[in-house]
Protein backbone atom coordinates (compact mmCIF):
# COMPACT_ATOMS: atom_id res chain seq x y z
CA UNK A 1 0.00 0.00 0.00
CA UNK A 2 2.76 2.46 0.91
CA UNK A 3 4.51 1.59 -2.34
CA UNK A 4 1.40 2.40 -4.37
CA UNK A 5 0.96 5.70 -2.54
CA UNK A 6 4.58 6.58 -3.23
CA UNK A 7 4.37 5.62 -6.91
CA UNK A 8 1.01 7.38 -7.38
CA UNK A 9 2.29 10.63 -5.88
CA UNK A 10 2.68 13.12 -8.75
CA UNK A 11 5.90 14.35 -7.14
CA UNK A 12 7.38 10.90 -7.75
CA UNK A 13 6.85 10.82 -11.49
CA UNK A 14 10.52 10.72 -12.41
CA UNK A 15 12.44 7.51 -12.93
CA UNK A 16 14.73 8.26 -10.01
CA UNK A 17 11.79 8.98 -7.69
CA UNK A 18 10.01 5.78 -8.73
CA UNK A 19 13.21 3.83 -8.16
CA UNK A 20 13.51 5.43 -4.72
CA UNK A 21 9.93 4.30 -3.97
CA UNK A 22 10.89 0.73 -4.87
CA UNK A 23 14.06 0.85 -2.76
CA UNK A 24 12.09 2.16 0.23
CA UNK A 25 9.44 -0.54 -0.22
CA UNK A 26 12.05 -3.27 -0.48
CA UNK A 27 13.69 -2.00 2.70
CA UNK A 28 10.35 -1.98 4.52
CA UNK A 29 9.58 -5.53 3.38
CA UNK A 30 13.08 -6.60 4.42
CA UNK A 31 12.42 -5.26 7.94
CA UNK A 32 9.10 -7.12 8.04
CA UNK A 33 10.76 -10.30 6.80
CA UNK A 34 13.51 -10.08 9.42
CA UNK A 35 11.00 -9.39 12.19
CA UNK A 36 8.89 -12.41 11.24
CA UNK A 37 11.99 -14.58 10.82
CA UNK A 38 13.29 -13.59 14.25
CA UNK A 39 9.91 -14.21 15.87
CA UNK A 40 9.68 -17.62 14.24
CA UNK A 41 13.17 -18.59 15.40
CA UNK A 42 12.27 -17.59 18.96
CA UNK A 43 8.98 -19.47 18.87
CA UNK A 44 9.71 -22.67 16.97
CA UNK A 45 11.13 -25.78 18.62
CA UNK A 46 14.86 -26.28 17.99
CA UNK A 47 14.52 -28.73 15.06
CA UNK A 48 11.91 -26.64 13.26
CA UNK A 49 13.96 -23.49 13.85
CA UNK A 50 16.96 -25.23 12.30
CA UNK A 51 14.92 -26.16 9.24
CA UNK A 52 13.72 -22.57 8.94
CA UNK A 53 17.29 -21.32 9.25
CA UNK A 54 18.34 -23.64 6.41
CA UNK A 55 15.37 -22.51 4.30
CA UNK A 56 16.22 -18.86 4.89
CA UNK A 57 19.83 -19.40 3.87
CA UNK A 58 18.62 -21.11 0.70
CA UNK A 59 16.17 -18.26 0.08
CA UNK A 60 18.98 -15.70 0.46
CA UNK A 61 20.95 -17.56 -2.22
CA UNK A 62 17.82 -17.58 -4.42
CA UNK A 63 17.30 -13.84 -3.86
CA UNK A 64 20.87 -13.10 -4.88
CA UNK A 65 20.67 -15.38 -7.94
CA UNK A 66 17.37 -13.78 -8.96
CA UNK A 67 18.91 -10.32 -8.71
CA UNK A 68 21.72 -11.44 -10.99
CA UNK A 69 19.25 -12.95 -13.46
CA UNK A 70 17.19 -9.75 -13.39
CA UNK A 71 20.31 -7.65 -13.90
CA UNK A 72 21.17 -9.76 -16.95
CA UNK A 73 17.64 -9.40 -18.29
CA UNK A 74 17.46 -5.65 -17.79
CA UNK A 75 20.96 -5.23 -19.27
CA UNK A 76 19.38 -6.29 -22.57
CA UNK A 77 16.96 -3.34 -22.44
CA UNK A 78 17.57 0.30 -23.22
CA UNK A 79 15.80 3.16 -21.56
CA UNK A 80 15.39 4.57 -18.10
CA UNK A 81 11.92 3.08 -17.66
CA UNK A 82 13.53 -0.28 -16.97
CA UNK A 83 15.39 0.96 -13.88
CA UNK A 84 12.29 1.11 -11.62
CA UNK A 85 11.04 -2.12 -13.22
CA UNK A 86 14.20 -3.85 -12.05
CA UNK A 87 13.71 -2.33 -8.62
CA UNK A 88 10.15 -3.60 -8.60
CA UNK A 89 11.34 -7.11 -9.34
CA UNK A 90 13.69 -7.00 -6.35
CA UNK A 91 10.91 -5.62 -4.17
CA UNK A 92 8.51 -8.42 -5.13
CA UNK A 93 11.02 -11.14 -4.23
CA UNK A 94 11.53 -9.72 -0.73
CA UNK A 95 7.81 -8.91 -0.32
CA UNK A 96 6.83 -12.48 -1.13
CA UNK A 97 9.26 -13.91 1.43
CA UNK A 98 8.10 -11.43 4.08
CA UNK A 99 4.47 -12.40 3.50
CA UNK A 100 5.37 -16.08 3.59
CA UNK A 101 7.16 -15.79 6.93
CA UNK A 102 4.38 -13.63 8.38
CA UNK A 103 1.85 -16.29 7.34
CA UNK A 104 3.95 -18.95 9.09
CA UNK A 105 4.02 -16.82 12.21
CA UNK A 106 0.22 -16.46 12.12
CA UNK A 107 -0.08 -20.25 11.93
CA UNK A 108 1.93 -20.55 15.14
CA UNK A 109 -0.29 -17.99 16.83
CA UNK A 110 -3.55 -19.86 16.12
CA UNK A 111 -3.34 -22.17 19.12
CA UNK A 112 -1.64 -19.58 21.30
CA UNK A 113 -4.80 -17.49 21.44
Indicate whether 88 belongs to any domain: yes
Indicate whether 76 belongs to any domain: yes
pLDDT at residue 13, as a whole number: 82
Quote the DSSP letter at residue 77: -
Indicate whether 81 belongs to any domain: yes
Residue 28 Cα to chain centre, angstroms: 8
Closest CA to 57 of 49, 67, 46: 49
pLDDT in tens, 50-106: 999 999 999 999 999 999 999 999 999 999 989 989 999 999 999 999 999 999 999
Indicate whether 103 belongs to any domain: yes
Q: Are 53 and 37 in contact (CB under 8 A)?
A: no
Closest CA to 110 of 54, 45, 43, 51: 43
pLDDT at residue 32, as a whole number: 97
Query: Which structural domain, as residue segments, surrounds residue 81?
Result: 46-113
Angle between helices 82-110 and 46-75 (to 10 degrees): 170
Indicate whether 11 belongs to any domain: no
Indicate whether 71 belongs to any domain: yes
Is residue 113 predicted with pLDDT exceeding 70? no
Indicate whether 85 belongs to any domain: yes
pTM of the model: 0.90
- Number of structural domains found in the chain: 1
pLDDT at residue 99, as a whole number: 98
Q: Say which residue, 6 or 94, is predicted with more confidence.
A: 94
- Alpha carbon distance 24, 74 (integer Å): 20
Q: Are 63 and 93 in contact (CB under 8 A)?
A: yes
Indicate whether 33 belongs to any domain: no
- Alpha carbon distance 108, 43 (integer Å): 8
Amino acid sequence: MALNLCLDNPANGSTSAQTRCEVQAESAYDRRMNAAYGALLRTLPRRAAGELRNAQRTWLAFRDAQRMADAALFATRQGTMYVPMQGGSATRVVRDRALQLEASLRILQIEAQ
